[in-house]
Chains A and B, each alone.
Chain A
């Protein structure tokens, strides 16, 4: 059982969830044109604060929930942070930008000493953080979860999206025939969840189901069949007649919205009202899943479906029921859908009623069936040393040539992805199972402490004042979850892919069991995969399987 008991949104439109809903319902948008906001980048349209500091915004979002200080500091409370790039704006001055350090400082501001969890799963991070919270509560690991999501913009992020030619010069128009791309946005949002039934009287919502699936198709391009989003919708959709709407990702890129329309049709949801909120806030990255979930829940409580600002003419090959204007509803459930780089997709179904849920399932037992260790000096597969002549950075290329050899995209990957890729190849090759058979029952859950700092540094070199040529091929790898996507694509794994940024490997062990809470997951390719620079790396990967 999980109860949502408080939330807060800080956006350029307003402070407070209800104030944000009022602003959105009255049609306001925070999208503006900027010409010289960040050094070097071309003019762009976005939703920005006048001044934005990542950790300050996170802290203010938590404070804004007006949650009892004792709950926030309790040993039974865990902080879960959703962000893609955290403090990356400071990378040109310092490398002390670890996401987990930010999360620790945020938690400690409230006197909470439990080591927090950072979910860094590209644009689906916010919904994944809510799913992680739900799973932790169901498993009884903690009683209360503070889920906070935020990203602030900088030359680093804006230049990357510009290099992808993904930005619209004008306010975006989700699902509309005229759409030209997305706008970026800044926001912070916080949701407080608990499993403690004494809070039931003040609860106004809960998560009924959650699912994460990979497209196993491409690390940046949305699937042409909407595979991952379809599987997420299939898993969470429940009864169609209780569903008020689906709040889609709706970034307003040509391919994202087309993909979502296909997925909605495949799931049989083409007649359910859908809406997208990017026309009000832009794409707020790590905050998006939380901000859009909170607004959807508050709208449901008011009995309304928020309109899709910017939409007027169908712009997808398959019809969907885009709600362009505010409309009434008396239904109590909605779905929040997201997708992101790395081919990841996530959905949750929410209700405004805090009852009628199945009781928590006991956490399943699992066992390790294979493991591998790769460091610059050694490769150990299932306890046996694997011979190699190379060391340091050259080792990964040698392992690729010796054990794989037929996947030239390997050479386009950053070191983190190369490490995860060769480790997973050798590991999976040691199993007595047929390779490359499409499957949904194996999740990929990886974690580390330094996120993708090594590649962040590489990308930063392409956006220097005297050498400004932002590289899209490097930018895509500035998301740590891309390695999970690379492995999913290679193996045709359509199950969950998740990346956590944690303080230490022991923390990951707690999270592995939670992956089995996703219906259908029987096996998890998981482990710690650290790569602070191209010659210093450490992968401890294993395959664990549920004991029936």
Chain B
């Protein structure tokens, strides 16, 4: 799993204008302070996983675990991707 590709996909999916992959650290929390993401962004990450990797997360609780950081997302994708 290429973390820079994933970061670019996050930036595009969430319209994080003016950010580049270099601005997002691999182990930085995606939610909370950091990038200023909110609950709608979290839901949009569900769509990203489904659309790009064929992964359907079942509920918000599962999302909270997967979306802790780019590293946790990348690891989850590596293990569960269907495309």
How distant is the Cα of A473 from the Cα of B39 in the complex, in angstroms? 10
Q: Could you give, for residues 406-421 of chain A, a 1 whenever the CB lies within 8 Å of some chain B CB and a 0 otherwise?
A: 0011011000000000
Size of the chain A interface, CB-CB below 8 angstroms: 17
How distant is the Cα of A472 from the Cα of B36 in the complex, in angstroms? 17
Q: A218-B38, A408-B36 are in contact. Are A472 and B43 (CB under 8 A)?
A: yes
> Which residues 219-248 in A have Cβ within 8 Å of B in the complex?
219-221
CB distance from A241 to the nearest CB of B (A): 40
Query: Is B59 part of the contact surface with A, judged by Cβ < 8 Å?
Result: yes
Query: Is B15 part of the contact surface with A, judged by Cβ < 8 Å?
Result: yes
How distant is the Cα of A472 from the Cα of B16 in the complex, in angstroms? 16
Residues of chain B within 8 A (CB-CB) of A412 are: 14-15, 40
| Nearest B-chain residue to A166, judged by Cβ | B43
How distant is the Cα of A408 from the Cα of B59 in the complex, in angstroms? 28
| Nearest B-chain residue to A163, judged by Cβ | B43
Contacting chain A: which of B25-33, B44-52, B75-83?
A: B44-52
How distant is the Cα of A163 from the Cα of B59 in the complex, in angstroms? 11
How distant is the Cα of A163 from the Cα of B44 in the complex, in angstroms? 8
Residues of chain A within 8 A (CB-CB) of B4 are: none
Size of the chain B interface, CB-CB below 8 angstroms: 18
Residues of chain B within 8 A (CB-CB) of A476 are: 40
CB distance from A234 to the nearest CB of B (A): 27
Instruction: Establish whether residues B17 and A408, one from each chain, have CB atoms under 8 Å apart when the complex forms.
Output: yes
Query: Is A439 part of the contact surface with B, judged by Cβ < 8 Å?
Result: no
Query: Is A75 part of the contact surface with B, judged by Cβ < 8 Å?
Result: no
Residues of chain A within 8 A (CB-CB) of B16 are: 408, 411
CB distance from A433 to the nearest CB of B (A): 27
Instruction: Establish whether residues A165 and B43, one from each chain, have CB atoms under 8 Å apart when the complex forms.
Output: yes
Instruction: Establish whether residues A411 and B17, one from each chain, have CB atoms under 8 Å apart when the complex forms.
Output: yes
| Interchain CB contact (< 8 A) of B43 among A164, A218, A408, A409 | A164
Query: Is A185 part of the contact surface with B, judged by Cβ < 8 Å?
Result: no
Instruction: Establish whether residues B44 and A471, one from each chain, have CB atoms under 8 Å apart when the complex forms.
Output: yes
Instruction: Establish whether residues A472 and B17, one from each chain, have CB atoms under 8 Å apart when the complex forms.
Output: no
Query: Is A470 part of the contact surface with B, judged by Cβ < 8 Å?
Result: yes
Interface residues of B (CB under 8 A from A): 14-18, 36, 38-41, 43-44, 46-47, 50-51, 59-60
Given A218-B38, A473-B44, 8 more A-B residue pairs with CB atoms under 8 Å apart are A163-B43, A165-B59, A220-B39, A221-B39, A412-B14, A469-B50, A473-B14, A473-B41
Question: What are 30 A-B contacts defined by CB distance under 8 Å?
Answer: A163-B43, A163-B46, A163-B47, A165-B46, A165-B59, A219-B40, A220-B39, A221-B38, A221-B39, A408-B36, A409-B36, A411-B15, A411-B16, A412-B14, A412-B15, A412-B40, A469-B50, A469-B51, A471-B47, A472-B40, A472-B43, A472-B44, A472-B47, A473-B14, A473-B15, A473-B40, A473-B41, A473-B43, A473-B44, A476-B40
Interface residues of A (CB under 8 A from B): 163-165, 218-221, 408-409, 411-412, 469-473, 476
Pick the 8 closest A-B CB pairs, nearest first.
A411-B17, A472-B43, A469-B51, A411-B15, A473-B44, A412-B15, A469-B47, A473-B40
